[in-house]
Amino acid sequence: MALRTNKELLDHAKANGYAVGAFNVNNLEQVIAVLETAEEEKAPVIIAITEGAIKYAGETFFFKAAPVMAADAKIPASVHLDHGGKFANIVKCVKGGFSSVMFDGSSLPFEENAGMTKKVVEVAHPVGISVEGEIGHVGGKEGGVDGGNDEILTDPAEAKRFAEETGVDSLAVAVGTVHGMRTQTAKLDLGRISAISSVVAVPLVLHGASGVPDEVFDEVIARGIHKINIGTELQKSFSTAMRQFAGDNPKIIDIRKLFRPAIDGMKESVRTKIRLFKSNGKAW
Q: Report, as residue numbers or ranges, the catalytic residues.
A: 82
Instruction: Tell which phi-psi region holds residue 14, choosing left (phi > 0), alpha (psi between -120 and 50) or beta.
Output: alpha
Between strands 145-146 and 141-142, the pairing is antiparallel
- Tell me the HSE value of 214 on the side-chain side, using a 13 A CA sphere: 10
Q: Cα–Cα distance between 60 and 65 in angstroms, integer?
A: 7
Quickly list H helices, the chain: 6-16, 28-41, 51-57, 59-60, 66-72, 87-95, 110-124, 156-166, 190-197, 217-222, 232-248, 255-276
Q: Which long-range contacts (CB under 8 A, 24 or more apart) does 59-62 make?
A: 59/92, 59/96, 61/27, 61/28, 62/96
Contact 52/145 with Cβ under 8 angstroms?
Answer: yes
Enumerate the β-bridge partners of residue 227: 20, 205
Give every CB contact of residue 3 below 8 A, 6+ residues apart in sequence.
67, 70, 71, 77, 78, 79, 97, 99
Q: Is the dihedral of CA 184, 188, 194, 197 positive or negative?
A: negative
